[in-house]
Homo-oligomer: A and B are copies of this chain.
Amino acid sequence: MHARQSPLSADRFFAPDPAQRRVARELYDGIADLPIVSPHGHVDPRLLADENATFGTPADLLIIPDHYVFRMLHSQGVPLEVIGVPRREGPADLAEPADPADPVGHRQIWQVFADHFHLFLGTPTGIWLAHELQDVFGIPEPLTGANAQAIYDELSDKLARPEFRPRALFERFNIEILCTTDDASDPLTWHQAIRASGWAGDVRPTFRPDALVNIGAPGWRSHLDALGRACGREITSCAALVTALEERRAFFKRMGATATDHGVESAYTAPLDAAEAEAIFARALRGEATADDARRFTGHLLIEEARLSVEDGLTMQLHVGAFRNHDRSVFERFGADKGADIPVATEFTRNLRPLLERFGDDARLTLILFTLDESSYARELAPLAGHYPAVRLGPPWWFNDSLNGMARYFDQVMETAGLWNTAGFNDDTRAFVSIPARHDVWRRASANWLAGLVVRGLVDEPGAVEMAHEMADGLARRAYRLGKA
């Protein structure tokens, strides 16, 4: 197979119709260079805490930590071990990359990757990788098995230079704000180090209490103990847990956080009375909580978290519908987040009602909803966002963060929700160097969608210009309360 990613063209991703393409290009040109506001993602803040941090080898940078990449190789029979994905017992350490001059096997990993690069043709990962190679590293020729080693050399050479260190790229990428995602008990050491360093980069934490909310997850007890240590006292009741979460939210807020994040398999919410909540918590402490206990406890705490958001003003994100660690064998050998999370159908109308009847009409709350089940877009999410003042719709998430995924989202959401009930773009990435590529895809897709409205007589061009700016900037700033530049 010799099929190759096309070199990046200036008009890429725009509809071929000349009239639409012309308008799309104009709209895109107006937003292409706006600063990046990244309100939700998973970049490791350690990368930015030390001014001398580097990305390691090309394999460290682009392959080993990126589940989008290795799950595709795995799907075609390449064992994760061959790709260098660390086993549970010996995790790789991002802060201590192997020697770039002679990393153990990384050239071989790179060759395997390049030999299979055609697998990414037409996929978002293929687009991001091409953008990274060409725009970030100045390597225009598409990667193939034949040029793999030469490109490895060139990448290694560049990665060793100061201008390719994380902070230098942060500035070159024109990132104005970068939000990370952090455990509720996290001391935010690296965020503190970034602040203490005097560097001007705006890196903010996001409060994610999933490990404490989900009493059914393995390791819940150890996470509870960590929370206790962070708060300086043992957590022995549900009430104490909520109080501790409230304290941690205040700490995160002082550290710059403007949002929380909640990842749940179902959007189920329902309040428990205090006695029920405490009884379930007590069972959880004894290791006796059932699956139904876990479901109900999560449904209760989501309402508590919404109440706290009304009080402290942190925007609440709800990511719904990932069945985590679907492949038991991969999980047992390699752990979580290894490309083996599979979506399930989601229901919002009935599940979210208990939360919304308490806080849905309260403009102090901003609740941003994400789903992996697009059948919810037009059926449930757009109508909810089009009615409740508190609700905004997050952009296409994960598998749907793609050109077609965005087109389907625009198509299915915007007519009912209206653009102003959406929340702009999230890159949601762990792969720092993919940030510009991801925002560029969104900006191009937005421009192309708006151009379609213009050529079909739905919006005039000045209107589309303003809408394009909202999509690239204003909507996300307001939804995440990130202020104006």
Q: Footprint of B on A, CB under 8 Å? A: 1-9, 11-17, 19-20, 71-72, 74-77, 118-124, 126-127, 323, 326-330, 339-345, 347, 349-350, 353, 356-357, 360-361, 363, 372-375, 378-380, 382-389, 391, 399-400, 402-405, 408, 411-412, 414-421, 452-460, 462-467, 470
B357, A466: Cβ atoms closer than 8 Å: no
A13, B389: Cβ atoms closer than 8 Å: no
A5, B459: Cβ atoms closer than 8 Å: yes
A343, B459: Cβ atoms closer than 8 Å: no
19 A-B residue contacts at CB 8 Å? A3-B463, A5-B463, A13-B458, A16-B17, A16-B19, A16-B456, A75-B387, A75-B418, A76-B421, A119-B418, A121-B467, A122-B459, A122-B467, A326-B387, A342-B380, A342-B387, A345-B375, A382-B399, A402-B416
Central interface residue in A20, A339, A417, A455, by most chain B CB within 10 Å: A455
Contact with A3, one of B343, B378, B379, B467 (Cβ below 8 angstroms)? B467
Cα separation A389 to B8 with both chains bound (whole Å): 31
Q: Which residues of B contact A2 (CB under 8 A)?
A: 462-463, 466
Known: A357-B328, A462-B2. A71 touches B19 (CB 8 A): no
Known: A327-B357, A327-B360. A6 touches B76 (CB 8 A): no
Q: Which residues of B contact A76 (CB under 8 A)?
A: 389, 420-421
Cα separation A372 to B378 with both chains bound (whole Å): 9
Contact with A405, one of B1, B123, B415 (Cβ below 8 angstroms)? B415
Q: Which residues of B contact A122 (CB under 8 A)?
A: 414-415, 418-419, 453, 458-459, 467
Residue of B nearest to A375 (CB): B375
Cα separation A381 to B363 with both chains bound (whole Å): 38
For the complex of A and B, 6 pairs with smallest distance between CB atoms? A3-B463, A12-B457, A16-B455, A9-B457, A6-B460, A375-B375
Central interface residue in A20, A360, A415, A455, by most chain B CB within 10 Å: A415
Contact with A347, one of B118, B339, B345, B353 (Cβ below 8 angstroms)? B345
Q: Which residues of B contact A380 (CB under 8 A)?
A: 342-344
Count of this chain's copies in the oligomeric assembly:
3
Identify 17 new A-B residue pairs, CB closer than 8 A, beyond the known A16-B19, A122-B459: A2-B462, A3-B459, A3-B466, A6-B454, A7-B460, A9-B457, A12-B457, A15-B17, A77-B389, A123-B415, A341-B383, A342-B387, A373-B375, A378-B400, A378-B405, A403-B458, A408-B412
Cα separation A414 to B470 with both chains bound (whole Å): 30
Q: Which residues of B contact A75 (CB under 8 A)?
A: 385-389, 391, 417-418, 421
A387, B357: Cβ atoms closer than 8 Å: no
B459, A6: Cβ atoms closer than 8 Å: yes
Q: Which residues of B contact A20 (CB under 8 A)?
A: 16
Residue of B nearest to A418 (CB): B119
Known: A373-B375, A374-B379, A463-B4. A77 touches B327 (CB 8 A): no
CB distance from A348 to the nearest CB of B (A): 8
Known: A75-B421, A405-B415. A344 touches B350 (CB 8 A): yes
Q: Which residues of B contact A124 (CB under 8 A)?
A: 415
Cα separation A7 to B454 with both chains bound (whole Å): 11
CB distance from A461 to the nearest CB of B (A): 9
B383, A342: Cβ atoms closer than 8 Å: yes
Contact with A386, one of B71, B372, B391, B454 (Cβ below 8 angstroms)? B71
A1, B466: Cβ atoms closer than 8 Å: yes
Cα separation A404 to B323 with both chains bound (whole Å): 30
Known: A1-B466, A415-B123. A374 touches B378 (CB 8 A): yes
B349, A326: Cβ atoms closer than 8 Å: yes
Q: Which residues of B contact A455 (CB under 8 A)?
A: 16
Contact with A379, one of B74, B372, B416, B458 (Cβ below 8 angstroms)? B372
A326, B353: Cβ atoms closer than 8 Å: yes
CB distance from A247 to the nearest CB of B (A): 30
Contact with A71, one of B328, B360, B387, B452 (Cβ below 8 angstroms)? B387
Known: A357-B328, A399-B416, A456-B12. A74 touches B387 (CB 8 A): yes
Q: Which residues of B contact A345 (CB under 8 A)?
A: 347, 375, 379
Cα separation A408 to B433 with both chains bound (whole Å): 31
Known: A122-B453, A343-B379. A412 touches B420 (CB 8 A): no
